[in-house]
Amino acid sequence: MGFLSCNAESAIATCDPYNWDRRNKTKLIKIRDFTYPELVKATNGFSAESFLGKGSHGTVYKACLDDGRLIAAVKKTYPNLSIAIHSNCTTCTTPAENEIEILSRVHHQRLVNLIGSGEDSKGRKLLVVEYMPNGSLYSLLHCSSRPPSWTRRVQFALQIAKAVQALHLANPPVIHRDIKSSNVLIDESWNARLGDFGLALRGHVEDVRIKCTPPAGTLGYLDPGYLAPGDLSTKSDVFSFGILLLEVISGRNAIDVNYSPPSIVDWAVPLIKRRDFSAICDDRIGSPVDPGVMDNLAILAARCVRSTAEKRPGMAEIVEGLKIASKRVNAPHIWNRLRRSVGLVEESRTLKTVIDSNEEVINADKTIRGGSRRNRKVSSVSSVGSENEPIQWVRERVIRSKSTGSFGEIKMGRFDSRKKAVKMPVVKLSKSRSMGILHSPQLLRYKNNIGIGLEMKRVIDSREVESSMSKLLIGLDEKSEREMQEKPLVSII
Ligand SMILES: Nc1ncnc2c1ncn2[C@@H]1O[C@H](COP(=O)(O)OP(=O)(O)OP(=O)(O)O)[C@@H](O)[C@H]1O
């Protein structure tokens, strides 16, 4: 395949295989056409009562369609907004058109799926998507008086990981480019769904469509290695997912001037490297009952935000890692008992080895900054409570990051105590400093055969424990891994 030029219209036909190669064309999902009057009626004339929220691309309204039988969300894009996403570099498309193009080809239970589209009198596209009644993950984490429990957080993380995995497995793959907590919406059954495909790109990395589209994303979530179109890969989504995971673990914003350092990567990764997991866990809910859950999540997140894209795990590995965390968080007492039974043989010795190899990574990356319990936060969070008792807390609000495409600039601001926006300098779309991480999973070795009581058998199948435990040992040295596989891990009495 040749890439002669991405400026001439004619080049599109020859360079972009999805414009002409029938074999690669994914089946279009049937989406409905809505008339503009229909959408006006359904949203009560786009009234304030129907207003759900606004983003950098437009406003969103609740719509009652089909005589109230279908509740949906209608996205109305701001006028004159276009982004440089096309197989031809000179042509722009609107986020809505881009979203229709992508979502009419992918459908998944963990995505905010497209129902249909409409057009206003000026020819601007309106999107009709599934309605998510429980807000965004951003608002649950940062604005709710009852922050989600660990079980919920792990469930959300796993569901979004599955959504991203499905996108990356599509043919051609879809790279979302804007994974962040405000783009994770919660449906009526409290499942997390990934939405907002305004910046998404569909194609293989070698396709002209990808090669000619300028970098875009949200400050704080953006892969620091994604500086030019050619740098984009599915691993950029992995980086953003890692930021999301750190946000889920800590309950802090991706960029938050109330912390030192303000970047979540610069703050969390040094603490994770020191295995100071409790320092990054959201102090409003405290540590999970099974401390292994934090180990799993934190190390996984740190691996996702490694500075070298190739060293980041793929979404399949992330999904597997989160499945283990999910099992542990749902049955903490079993896991704690299992841990006590197997013992942490040679932990201090192996830990030293891990720390030594971590040091190598630290030296190689050379960019570790900040991150200690002392500089955990610049300002304090007023109260801490368990998830069972409703708590109130006040945080200094930080305006959340907005997506930025080729519009280039992004604004950051801070609210003062009177909740008035204090204008901060407009910063160019720059990279958040990130650094790599070592891989330091908890190293477990088991002693001969382990006795586990009948009551445990009732709750969890032995083979399930076995497979989960062996997956836990990702990163274990080869010899120990072989031993693990040779001996039965669990013997049920
Ligand atoms: N399908 C939906 N169902 C219910 N509410 C929605 C839906 N889609 C969006 N919203 C609400 O509208 C708000 C704006 O959404 P939108 O996707 O336009 O922007 P954003 O993701 O918040 O920000 P940005 O445009 O910077 O990415 C969301 O925060 C959410 O509260």
Domains of the chain: 28-82+91-131 (3.30.200.20), 132-336 (1.10.510.10)
Q: Whose alpha carbon is nearest atom 12 of ligand 1?
A: 53
In tens, the pLDDT along 316-344 reads 999 999 999 999 998 866 666 666 666 54
Contacts of 261 (CB under 8 A, 6+ apart): 267, 369, 370, 371, 375
With tokens 């970098």, the residue in question is 215
CA 159 to ligand 1 center in whole angstroms: 18
Burial class from Cβ neighbours inside 10 Å (0-12, 13-18, 19+) for residue 269 reads: buried
In DSSP terms, 421 is beta-bridged to 415
Alpha carbon of 183 to ligand 1 centroid (Å): 7
Nearest CA to ligand 1 atom 27: 403
Beta bridge partners of 217: 404
For residue 143, the CA-to-ligand 1 centroid distance in Å is 15
Nearest CA to ligand 1 atom 13: 53
Predicted confidence (pLDDT) per residue in 351-407, tens digit: 344 334 333 333 434 333 344 433 445 433 322 233 333 222 233 344 456 666 533
Give residue 46 CA to ligand 1 midpoint distance, Å. Answer: 15
Residue to probe by mutation, ligand 1, list 54, 188, 218, most atoms within 8 Å of CB: 54
Q: Which of 43, 50, 52, 221 to mutate to test the pocket of ligand 1 (most atoms within 8 A of CB)?
A: 52
* Ligand 1 atom closest to Cα of residue 129: 1
Cβ atoms of 60 and 75 closer than 8 Å: yes
Tokens of residue 315, six digits: 């979404």
Q: Identify residue 293 by its one-letter amino acid code.
A: V
CA distances to 149, 281, 381 from 153, in Å: 6, 12, 20
Q: Which residues are annotated as a binding site for ATP?
A: 76
Alpha-carbon separation of residue 107 from 23, 51, 318, 377, 445 (angstroms):
19, 26, 21, 41, 42
If phi over 0 gives left and psi between -120 and 50 gives alpha, with beta otherwise, what is residue 135?
left
CA nearest 166: which of 237, 101, 217, 229? Answer: 237
**Active site annotation includes 178:** yes
Q: What's at 185, amino acid-wise?
A: L
- Total-model pTM: 0.70
Percent of the chain with pLDDT over 70: 59
**Max mean pLDDT range (88-97, 243-252, 396-405, 424-433):** 243-252
Highest mean pLDDT among 210-219, 261-270, 448-457, 484-493: 261-270
187-204: average pLDDT: 95
With a Cβ cut-off of 6 Å, ligand 1 is lined by: 52-58, 60, 73, 112, 129-132, 135-136, 178, 182-183, 185, 195-196, 402-403
